[in-house]
């Protein structure tokens, strides 16, 4: 089992839609996601959650052969990869969506560091 942050292309999807996209397009089995509580600080792992919507920086839990395979969930960009048939071709892209993902990720690290200290 591996974990990976879902790309911003998953934001707004239901868990069902996200798991279907992962299985069909990325050849990954998404089993669960990390869900934040109403207070925002508390998290829990929710297996196959009904009605759950994917929010930015959602952590996914996958069954895969390697951590490299699971990186496809982080790299997936609807604008760049929607028409790709071979999942091994899904790599980090150079579009603005990819830069936005890095910015969000960096913000979360800063927030996390500020939260700890």
CATH classification number, 2-116, choose in 3.40.50.410, 3.90.550.10, 3.30.70.1450, 3.40.50.880: 3.30.70.1450
Among 53-57, 72-76, 109-113, which is the least confidently predicted range?
109-113
pLDDT tens for each residue of 59-98: 999 999 999 999 989 988 877 767 677 677 677 877 755 5
Residue 104's pLDDT band, with cuts at 50, 70 and 90, is low
Tokens 């048939």, residue?
Answer: 85
The conformation of residue 92, written as its DSSP 8-state character, comes to -
Q: What is the mean pLDDT of the chain?
A: 80
Contact 53, 6 (CB under 8 A): no
Question: Measured between alpha carbons, how far is 64 from 30 in angstroms, rounded to an integer?
Answer: 9
Q: Are strands 43-47 and 29-36 parallel, antiparallel or unpaired?
A: antiparallel
Question: Between residues 31 and 106, which one has the greater pLDDT?
Answer: 31
Question: Measured between alpha carbons, how far is 92 from 43 in angstroms, rounded to an integer?
Answer: 28
Q: Look at residue 114 and tell me whether its pLDDT is greater than 70.
A: no
End-to-end CA gap in the chain: 31
Residue 115's pLDDT band, with cuts at 50, 70 and 90, is very low
Give domain limits for the chain. Answer: 2-116
Residues paired with residue 36 on neighbouring β-strands, in sequence order: 43
Q: Look at residue 103 and tell me whether its pLDDT is greater than 60.
A: no
């Amino acid at each position: 089992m591996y974990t990976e942050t879902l790309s911003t292309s998953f934001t707004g999807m239901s868990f069902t839609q996200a798991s279907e996209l992962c299985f069909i397009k990325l050849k990954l089995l998404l089993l669960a996601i990390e869900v934040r509580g109403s207070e925002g600080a508390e998290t829990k792992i929710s297996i196959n959650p009904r009605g759950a919507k994917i929010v930015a920086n959602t952590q996914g839990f996958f069954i895969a052969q390697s951590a490299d395979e699971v990186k496809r969930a982080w790299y997936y960009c609807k604008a760049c990869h929607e028409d790709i048939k071979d999942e091994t071709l899904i790599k980090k892209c150079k579009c603005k969506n990819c830069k936005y993902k890095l910015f969000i990720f960096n913000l979360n690290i800063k927030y996390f560091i500020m939260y700890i200290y």
